[in-house]
Amino acid sequence: MLKDYANRSVQTAVALVNTYDLAAGDDRLGGRDDTAELLRGLGWEGVDALSAADQSRLSNWRHQLRSVFETDDAATAIDILNRNLKEVGSAPRLTNHDGEWHWHYTRQGAPLRERVIATTAVALLSAIADGALARMRVCSADDCHRVFVDLSRPGTRRFCEPTGCANRAHVRAFRTRAKGGQTVVSN
């Protein structure tokens, strides 16, 4: 079950959200080239035809996706995702063009933005239907606002990166305890 949430569509949702640093206001999805590079790196096809409209809509989509990761209310997350599926005119269909059966969620020839939105929305809706909304999180580190999907077996991960954010939080907690405070941080 957990490996299903590590698929390209879920990772695309996470990567899109994480292109905007809330704390610094840094936007790594500033133009078509940045967006094309991100999507190409995630295995999306047709990124060379990325339009300004695609880039603009995907930039907006990542902010809506952040809302999905920030809420613990399934109805709110589902509403956001379903509304966007409707907006892009999602039309699920089963295909077999690569030698195995798989789903496409937009009409044939749909613009890249519609394919990315529909596919990431369906992947996150599937995760929510499987009870995984609680595994879709924002990093607990005070200085980090990145999102992630907790793929650990117990589902108790709190930080986006065990070697980055988790280590910094543990060092801070240790120093606080050493000074006489009692801050405790668990991974």
Look at residue 119 and tell me if it is in a domain.
yes
In 3D space, the residue among 61, 132, 122, 114 whose CA is nearest the CA of residue 94 turns out to be 122
Look at residue 21 and tell me if it is in a domain.
yes
State the CATH number of the domain containing residue 35. 1.10.3300.10
Q: Which domain holds residue 96?
A: 2-135
Q: How high is the pLDDT of residue 162?
A: 73
Stated pTM of the model: 0.85
Residue 106 is classified by DSSP as: S
Q: How high is the pLDDT of residue 1?
A: 41
Look at residue 110 and tell me if it is in a domain.
yes
Look at residue 169 and tell me if it is in a domain.
no
Look at residue 153 and tell me if it is in a domain.
no
Look at residue 152 and tell me if it is in a domain.
no
Look at residue 170 and tell me if it is in a domain.
no
The tally of domains found in the chain comes to: 1
Per-residue pLDDT tens, the chain, 187 aa: give them: 445 555 889 999 999 999 998 888 889 888 889 999 999 999 998 999 899 999 999 999 999 999 999 999 999 999 999 999 999 999 999 988 778 888 889 998 899 999 999 999 999 999 999 999 999 999 998 889 999 999 888 888 989 887 778 666 566 665 666 777 555 566 5
Look at residue 47 and tell me if it is in a domain.
yes
Long-range contacts of 67-76 (CB under 8 A, 24+ apart): 68/13, 68/124, 68/136, 69/17, 69/136, 69/137, 69/138, 69/147, 70/138, 72/133, 72/134, 74/128, 74/133
